[in-house]
Structure 1
Amino acid sequence: MKSPFLLVAGVITLSGCVNTLSQEQQTKIDNMTSCEKIQGLLESYENDFAPLKQSRVKNKYMEVWQASYNLVGENCQISKGNNNTNNYMCQQNFSEKDLAVAIYSQAVDFTKNCLKEQGWRIKTENNKGSVRTTFFLNESSPSLSIHSGKTLAKLNDVWMTSFEVGKR
Structure 2
Amino acid sequence: MVNRHLILPVAILSVAACQQLPDDVQQRVDTMNECEKVLALTQGTQDDFAQLKGSKVNSSLMSAWQPKAHLIANSCQINQYNSGNVAYECTKLFSTEANAAKLFDDVAQQLNTCLGTTWQSTEEQNNTLRYTSDSSEAKITLSRGKGLDRKTPWVIALEIAR
TM-score after normalising by structure 1: 0.75
1:70-124 CA-partner distances (Å, limit 9, x unpaired): 220322111111221100011111100111011101111121111123x111111
Offset at residue 58 of structure 1 (A): 4.7
Q: Structure 2 vs 1, CA of residues 92 and 44 (structure 1 numbering), >3 Å: closer, same or farther?
A: same
Larger Rg: 1
- Partner amino acid, structure 2, of 1:126: Q
Unaligned ranges ≥5, structure 1: 1-18
Q: Is the contact made by 1:142 and 1:165 (CA closer than 8 Å) also made in structure 2?
A: yes
* Matching residue of 2:120: 121
Q: CA deviation at 1:140?
A: 6.6
Q: 2:146 aligns to what?
A: 150
Aligned partner letter, 1:146: L
Name the structure 1 match of 2:156: 161
- What amino acid does structure 1 have at the position aligned with 2:93? N
Do structure 1's residue 38 and structure 2's residue 38 form an aligned pair? yes
Q: For 1:28 and 1:63, how far apart are their aligned partners in 2?
A: 24
Match of 1:12 in 2: none
1:56 aligned to 2:57? yes
1:137 maps to what in 2? 133
Contact 2:93 2:152 in 1 (8 A): no
| Contact map agreement 1:146 1:162 (CA 8 A) in 2 | yes
TM-score, with length taken from structure 2: 0.77
Count matched residues: 143
Q: Which residue of 1 aligns with 2:79?
A: 79
> Alignment identity in percent?
26
The one-letter code matched in structure 2 to 1:156 is K
Letter in 2 for 1:34: E
Unaligned 5+ segments in structure 2 are: 1-18
Distance 1:121-1:49 versus aligned 2 partners, 3 A rule: same
